Structure 1
Amino acid sequence: MPKSAKGRCTLCAHETTKGVMVKHLANCPRRQEQLANAASGKPQTLIHLRVQDGYQNAFWLDVEVRGTATLREIDSYLRRIWLECCGHMSKFTVGGWGGRDVAQSRRVDAVFTDDVELIHIYDFGTESITRIKTVGSRHGTPVSRQPIVLLSRNLAPETSCVECDEPASHLCRECQSEWDSPGTLCTQHAKSHPHDDYGQPIEIVNSPRMGLCGYDGPADPPY
């Protein structure tokens, strides 16, 4: 898929580049209003993480995570929003394959220190690699009962139909896997493009796992 440099703030719908999004979130009026109206409670450490696919830079997320959350909760979040297809194994490491494994029972505030970047590996066969790094933190009241809050997300990369160059809406997994083709199809051509071995073309969704293993889309929000 082609690279997309832009994403959308989930609070105000402002669209900007990946590099500028962190600055926008620090000054977003809706974000400031959200923080001002946060329910009263015991202040705690909340960490802003940048999550990015290890292979396709077009796919990225900004999330705020409670410091008391565990890596297991991040694993569950990534599965729901991006990765889950067949219940594959996963792990966190420093350094990726061959690096130091980090237990999923570890707390977020104990792991994301000193500019540490964690690598999340999902599916040890048809792997998905995700890079996770701290870009900021605050000490205050959470804005949600959920341990992880989505702040921004990449816009879905635009792709073209291999048959007519119209915007693509579906993916043929057989063309992609067996015929060295992007396999991307518009709605019209997807209707007349079945394949025996992989079934009908599937709808394209905003996830780096599209076309891998049995992935066919994320869980229903909220994540």
Structure 2
Amino acid sequence: MSGPQTRGSCVFCGREFAKGGLSRHLPTCPKRQEAQATADATKRQRQTLYHLQAQDAWGAGYFLHLEMRGKATLKDLDEYLRAIWLECCGHLSSFKIAGARYDNTAGLWGENEGPLMNAVKVSSIFQPGLELSYEYDFGTTSELTIKVIAAREGKPLSEHPIFLMARNKFEPPACSVCGAPATWLCSECMYHEDEKCELCDEHAQEHEHEEMVMALVNSPRTGMCGYDGPAEPPY
């Protein structure tokens, strides 16, 4: 399967940039600064806010730029990533940060189990430059890398623990049969026959593995397990 384009739009001003360009643009975006001033006039609690960049660990063009409350927990981040990118069947997940593992359920690793995600506020471990890894589903595993780009002091931009600042723009690949924009993929062809198989609506209906055809969506979990797309926002 070919990956989506690696450009995305700033949610504040609408300008489009590559992933790295967004990292440079967001700290100075005038519209973001206006949104921060509006938030600072609210009664929300002032705290450290972290700019995170999350991406598919395998290099495909899926990425998110997020702002997260310091008083939120790793469990909040886990739930957000599930909602926007990953959740299909209630699988287990974990973060790994500086050699330590943080689990979402007790007893996951037996005697060597790590701290629970909901017990760890991110302000206790996050700092600019920190890189962490995340896994969802220990059978058909989705792997992400997350980097703390920057931190600022202020009031959160919304009532939610995490605010979406940018996301990769999804450009559907061409149908393997006719070249039209694809909306489906065949997991049987991809994972068992090692063949590229992305299909438009018409050719998905005619495909020999019709029962294995899955929706092509803007997520690194596309085509894996029972994943059929993100939850409805707000996340």
Whether contact under 8 Å (2:127, 2:151) holds in the other structure is no
Which whole-Å CA distance do the structure 1 matches of 2:44 and 2:78 have between them?
A: 26
Which whole-Å CA distance do the structure 1 matches of 2:229 and 2:43 have between them?
A: 36
**Once the two structures are superposed, what CA deviation does each residue of 1:129-187 show, in whole Å capped at 9, x if it has no partner?**
11111111110111101010000001114411111122211112222222222220112
Alignment of 1:194-205 (within 5 A): 195=209, 197-198=211-212, 201-205=213-217
TM-score, with length taken from structure 1: 0.91
Number of residue pairs matched by the alignment: 218
Q: Secondary structure at the match of 2:61?
A: coil
Whether contact under 8 Å (1:58, 1:157) holds in the other structure is no
Q: What is the letter of the counterpart of residue 174 of structure 1?
A: E
RMSD of aligned C-alpha atoms?
1.7
Q: What is the letter of the counterpart of residue 212 of structure 1?
A: M
Q: % of aligned pairs identical?
A: 44
Which whole-Å CA distance do the structure 1 matches of 2:157 and 2:97 have between them?
A: 30
Whether contact under 8 Å (1:174, 1:197) holds in the other structure is no
Q: Secondary structure at the match of 1:82?
A: helix
**Is residue 2:104 matched to residue 1:101?**
no
Give the one of 31, 36, 53 matched to 2:56. 53
Whether contact under 8 Å (1:90, 1:120) holds in the other structure is yes
Whether contact under 8 Å (1:54, 1:130) holds in the other structure is yes
Runs (5+) with no aligned partner, structure 2: 103-114
**Is residue 2:225 matched to residue 1:213?**
yes
> 1:35 aligns to what?
36
Moved over 4 A (4+): none
> 2:149 aligns to what?
135
TM-score, with length taken from structure 2: 0.86
Whether contact under 8 Å (1:8, 1:155) holds in the other structure is yes
Q: Secondary structure at the match of 1:37?
A: helix
Change (3 A) 1:40 1:79: same
Runs (5+) with no aligned partner, structure 1: none
**Once the two structures are superposed, what CA deviation does each residue of 1:164-211 show, in whole Å capped at 9, x if it has no partner?**
12221111222222222222011221232252653xx33211000001
> 2:70 aligns to what?
67
